[in-house]
Amino acid sequence: MIKAKLGIRTNNGSYSVVIGTNFFNKLSKILRKNGFNFNKCFLLIDKKIGKKRIKQISKSISKKKIIYLFNSTEKNKSFGSVLKILNLLQKNNFNRNDCLLTVGGGITGDTGGFAASLFKRGIKFINIPTTLLAQVDSSIGGKTGINTVYGKNLIGSFYQPNLVLADTLFLKTLPKREITCGYAEILKHSLISDKKLFLYLDKNVQNILKLKSPFIEKAIFKSCKIKRDIVQKDEKENNLRKILNFGHTFAHAYEASMTYSKKLNHGEAVILGIYSSLKFSLDNKLINLSEFNLIIGHLSKAKLSYNVSKYFSKIDTKKIISYMQNDKKNNSEKINLILLKKIGSMELNKKFSKEKIRSFINEKLLIN
């Protein structure tokens, strides 16, 4: 059942994000209703969504289709995978009016979206996100891309999808840790712009984490709306869109210094990053103690682990700082941090010396 539809304006047109439960098997009908009239469809599908769902999706598209089952790892978010997709599109005579459809998490969407942006300078692109993170974050806003040996997401394009279909049924097979990943981004969205949503999350966090209806759909919708409102104002991340990186400069450095080990996944790193940025905001007298404690209380209630020293020791600080400095959002010797003044209000362009951040990490975060 479709529960909500969100329109997103972009510099070159608009698209819809459709949110609901158990509607993806009526794909052909939905595509027709949304004005899609292609002859061929390339389906890039994450293997892990399971045979049953793959069969249902394949059956629901009556047009000629090529199915590519994708092993979605950060290693496969690569030029090699994009090349394979582009070759198959060429081999099967796809043209710009045909369609590339991704079914999977952020890795599948980012890789497929990038291939879609390159093929004949842009083929139609439909994204069916199947992780919570992809449903609330990566499927919206048009960032596509791949990793290289030099780092994550370093090659990419801004390429907007023509349609996003977020069906919560997919989330039922998602491992619990992946649910936490998506929840971290929902929480981030509430902190950067909507105290009312934060209070809703605080009241209903257990129902959301258990994927109970209507709580999960409402959390997804509100989260998408916040991201929509931000990317509509600043599609190419000139300024405002940077607030979406709240917690992420720390988080990316934590992930990188653990060489993207499975011991700390992206969402867990984001929780550590949110905590680090919050504590830094408190130490720099931006946020007051009662708002800080409100958020910490929520992290504890949701059982989200924010203890940085559980993963790192003082020995790692040099590495963490160097990754923070190399973050692609930084363009000077100093490190730019996105900080919180109060829930829903951000400080965007504050830069700090490496020394200040080093002593903060050593003295305030890594306290065993």
Ligand X SMILES: NC(=O)c1ccc[n+]([C@@H]2O[C@H](COP(=O)([O-])OP(=O)(O)OC[C@H]3O[C@@H](n4cnc5c(N)ncnc54)[C@H](O)[C@@H]3O)[C@@H](O)[C@H]2O)c1
HSE-up of 185 (CA within 13 Å, CB side)? 27
Q: Is 133 in the site for ligand X (CB under 6 A)?
A: yes
Q: Is 317 in the site for ligand X (CB under 6 A)?
A: no
**Strand 99-104 relative to strand 124-129: parallel, antiparallel, unpaired?**
parallel
Q: Closest Cα partner for 115 from 147, 76, 75, 156? A: 156
CB of 105 to ligand X, least distance (A): 2
Contact pick of 134, 184, 251, 253 for ligand X (by CB under 6 A): 134
**Strand 64-70 relative to strand 99-104: parallel, antiparallel, unpaired?**
unpaired
Contact pick of 24, 123, 137, 308 for ligand X (by CB under 6 A): 137
Q: Which stretch binds ligand X (CB under 6 A): 21-29, 138-146, 323-331, 334-342?
A: 138-146
Contact pick of 143, 188, 218, 298 for ligand X (by CB under 6 A): 143
Angle at 34 between CA 29 and CA 39, to 5 degrees: 70
CA–CA gap between residue 140 and residue 163 (Å, rounded): 10
CB of 154 to ligand X, least distance (A): 11
Residue 174 or 286: the one with the smaller Cβ distance to ligand X is 174
Q: Is 10 in the site for ligand X (CB under 6 A)?
A: no
Q: Are 220 and 303 contacting, i.e. CB atoms less than 8 angstroms apart?
A: no
DSSP-derived letter for residue 28 is: H
Q: Are 47 and 70 contacting, i.e. CB atoms less than 8 angstroms apart?
A: yes
The H or E element spanning position 339 is strand 335-342
Residue 90 or 326: the one with the smaller Cβ distance to ligand X is 326
One symbol per residue from 318 to 357: x for binding ligand X (CB under 6 A), - otherwise; what is it? Answer: ----------------------------------------
CB of 283 to ligand X, least distance (A): 27
Contact pick of 28, 34, 60, 153 for ligand X (by CB under 6 A): 153
Distance of CA 79 to the CA centre of its chain: 20
Q: Is 46 in the site for ligand X (CB under 6 A)?
A: yes
Distance of CA 8 to the CA centre of its chain: 17
CB of 147 to ligand X, least distance (A): 7
Give first-to-last CA distance, the chain, whole Å. Answer: 49
Q: Is 128 in the site for ligand X (CB under 6 A)?
A: no
Contact pick of 117, 130, 245, 336 for ligand X (by CB under 6 A): 130
Please name the residue that has the structure tokens 């950067």. Answer: 192
Contact pick of 20, 112, 141, 273 for ligand X (by CB under 6 A): 141
The H or E element spanning position 346 is strand 345-352
Contact pick of 18, 41, 107, 340 for ligand X (by CB under 6 A): 107
Which phi and psi angles does 366 have, rounded to 5°? -95, 70
Token pair listed for 297: 């209380």
Token pair listed for 29: 């009908």
Q: Is 161 in the site for ligand X (CB under 6 A)?
A: no
Q: Is 173 in the site for ligand X (CB under 6 A)?
A: yes
CB of 153 to ligand X, least distance (A): 5
In one letter, which amino acid is 323?
Answer: Y
Q: Is 168 in the site for ligand X (CB under 6 A)?
A: no
Q: Which stretch binds ligand X (CB under 6 A): 32-40, 89-97, 137-145, 320-328?
A: 137-145
Q: Is 110 in the site for ligand X (CB under 6 A)?
A: yes
Q: Is 271 in the site for ligand X (CB under 6 A)?
A: no
Query: For ligand X, which residue has the nearest CB?
Result: 106
Measure the CA dihedral 171/175/176/179, to 10°. Answer: -40
| Strand, helix or coil for residue 20 | strand
Give the binding site for ligand X (CB under 6 A): 46, 48-49, 72, 74, 77, 104-108, 110, 130-131, 133-134, 137-138, 141, 143, 152-153, 170, 173-174, 178, 181, 266
